[in-house]
């Protein structure tokens, strides 16, 4: 394809490639400016806390992490480490962080294991979020800028899961109580729109969905071929209602991007070498991060409409002394609007959580 084609034609090619799920290797690649390189922060070494699990990064660059059966930590390079200690005889798992430094997840008393959602605020401290009548257990997976949280809950061990939303002022409740099957939420944006998955009936197929005001639900479709079982879910959502997640193709998960304009687009073909993949987060610019695997390798990828999918190992700054000792691996990945990414890596052969920060050459 000639590089001299007009911007309008190039945009049309990009849209067509995205809509059809083609590899993003057309003229937009030739015209795209290089992505910034990434500088590595070894979070365990920097924070001097062993056995960390990284959870999230906010738009100020503050990182949320925790130790299994231990404390929760907030870290920023300018302010250092802040410890959020465990209440006595409890276990607490953080799942998400917002730009005000508020944390949400689940908490339970040791020996009982009845987890309930919680909210921790830098000023107001820890609060167990009340559950609506009929719900006794649950977890919160996401929090927005207004302190609204979303996750799932149930009335007992053998009951279906309900998608639940709430806040410190409003008990966690199911906005779609008429739903016959099980549902869960993994993302919530500033408008209070929720992304997750639902089943039409207990034991049936799982479908990616967005839930808006008054429980209005939109199923996002599937990448599965006709006759295949639908298994899809939203894992990340931005304020433009662009969603990412995974959808089964031939029984294998493929990362997808969904928007009102394009519908569900398969990102897997644009990630070099990927056999399976999953989109785990999307920022305000529409940049996506997630994980991919082939038969022998695994890693974290970055995707955008200009460059397609790129293994993060190919973006590490060669001037960073950690680069030669580091291999980004697959797993959990989150990204903020500044392009900072938290994920996992092997550094000198040890599995570590890392923060990757864009740097201009």
Report CA torsion sign: 263, 269, 274, 276. Answer: positive
Q: Rounded to 5 degrees, what are φ and ψ at 19?
A: -65, -35
Q: Is 239 exposed, middle or buried (0-12, 13-18, 19+ CB in 10 A)?
A: middle
Q: Rounded to 5 degrees, what are φ and ψ at 15?
A: -60, -45
Give the pLDDT of residue 310.
Answer: 96
Q: Which residues of the chain have pLDDT under 50?
A: 1-28
Assign 26 to helix, strand or coil. Answer: coil
Give the pLDDT of residue 203.
Answer: 56
Q: Rounded to 5 degrees, what are φ and ψ at 337?
A: -70, -15
Give the pLDDT of residue 339.
Answer: 97
Q: Is 85 exposed, middle or buried (0-12, 13-18, 19+ CB in 10 A)?
A: exposed
| Residues 6 or more apart in contact with residue 177 via CB below 8 angstroms | 162
Give the pLDDT of residue 30.
Answer: 53
How many Å apart are CA 83 and CA 52, to the nearest integer?
13
Q: Which residue bears the tokens 């231990």? A: 70
How crowded is residue 157: how many other Cβ atoms within 10 Å of its Cβ? 8
Locate 158 and state its tokens.
């053998």
How crowded is residue 34: how many other Cβ atoms within 10 Å of its Cβ? 8
Locate 170 and state its tokens.
């409003």
The CA distances from residue 109 to 92, 112, 116, 156, 356, in Å, are 9, 6, 10, 16, 35
How many Å apart are CA 283 and CA 290, to the nearest integer?
12
Provide the CA 22 distance to its chain's centre, in angstroms. Answer: 24
Give the pLDDT of residue 86.
Answer: 86
Give the pLDDT of residue 230.
Answer: 84
Q: Is 353 exposed, middle or buried (0-12, 13-18, 19+ CB in 10 A)?
A: buried
Q: Which residue bears the tokens 């864009």? A: 358
Do residues 271 and 223 touch, judged by C-beta distance below 8 A?
A: no
């Amino acid at each position: 394809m000639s590089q001299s084609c007009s911007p309008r034609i190039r945009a049309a090619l990009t849209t067509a490639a995205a809509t059809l799920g083609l590899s993003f290797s057309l003229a937009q690649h030739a015209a795209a400016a290089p992505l910034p390189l990434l500088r590595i922060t070894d979070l365990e070494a920097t924070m001097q806390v062993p056995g960390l699990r990284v959870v999230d990064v906010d738009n100020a660059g503050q990182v949320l992490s925790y130790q299994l059966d231990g404390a929760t930590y907030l870290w920023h390079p300018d302010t250092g480490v802040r410890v959020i200690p465990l209440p006595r005889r409890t276990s607490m798992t953080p799942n998400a962080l917002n730009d005000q430094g508020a944390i949400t997840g689940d908490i339970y008393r040791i020996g009982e294991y009845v987890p309930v959602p919680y909210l921790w605020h830098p000023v107001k401290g820890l609060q167990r979020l009340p559950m609506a009548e009929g719900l006794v257990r649950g977890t919160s997976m996401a929090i927005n800028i207004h302190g609204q949280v979303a996750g799932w809950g149930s009335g007992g061990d053998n009951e279906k899961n309900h998608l639940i939303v709430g806040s410190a002022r409003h008990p966690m409740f199911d906005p779609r109580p008429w739903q016959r099957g099980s549902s869960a939420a993994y993302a919530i944006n500033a408008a209070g729109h929720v992304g997750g998955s639902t089943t039409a009936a207990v034991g049936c197929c799982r479908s990616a969905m967005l839930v808006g005001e008054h429980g209005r639900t939109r199923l996002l479709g599937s990448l599965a071929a006709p006759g295949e079982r639908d298994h899809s879910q939203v894992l990340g959502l931005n304020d433009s209602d662009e969603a990412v997640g995974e959808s089964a193709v031939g029984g294998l998960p493929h990362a997808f991007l969904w928007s009102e304009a394009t519908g569900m687009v398969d990102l897997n073909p644009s990630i070099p070498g990927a056999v399976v993949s999953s989109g785990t987060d999307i920022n305000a610019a529409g940049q996506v991060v997630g994980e991919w695997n082939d038969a022998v390798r695994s890693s974290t990828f970055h995707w955008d409409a200009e460059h397609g999918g790129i293994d993060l190992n190919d973006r590490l700054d060669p001037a960073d002394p950690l680069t030669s000792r580091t291999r980004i691996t697959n797993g959990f990945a989150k990204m903020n609007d500044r392009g900072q990414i938290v994920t996992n890596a092997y550094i000198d052969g040890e599995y570590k959580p890392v923060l990757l920060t864009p740097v201009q050459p």
